[in-house]
Structure 1
Amino acid sequence: MSFYSGIDLHSNNHVVVVIDEEDNKVVDKRIDNNLHTTLEVLAP
């Protein structure tokens, strides 16, 4: 199964969205601008 992601970057936070190949949202989270946190969200 394929996944696609997008990140909407703002000055102090960003929104991470991951969808599968059937356009179902797998992840939709607003998080602080922190690389470690972003990697934790995307790891699974």
Structure 2
Amino acid sequence: MSACTPTVKIDPPDKPIVINLNVKIEHEIKIKVDKELDTLIENDELF
């Protein structure tokens, strides 16, 4: 008995592979300051 032997052939594409990535990154930074420290900064007593 003879069996079929399957073969796999992989050919590279003729054109280069192009990957387009559109990435939008947004950062939101929130700083919380104690009320006492905030008044010190406003009155220039800290520096």
If the TM-score is normalised by the length of the shorter chain, which range does it land in?
under 0.3
Q: Give TM-score, length-normalised by structure 1.
A: 0.26
Q: Give TM-score, length-normalised by structure 2.
A: 0.25
Structure possessing the higher radius of gyration over alpha carbons: 2
State the structure with bigger RCO (CA 8 A, min sep 6), 1 or 2: 1
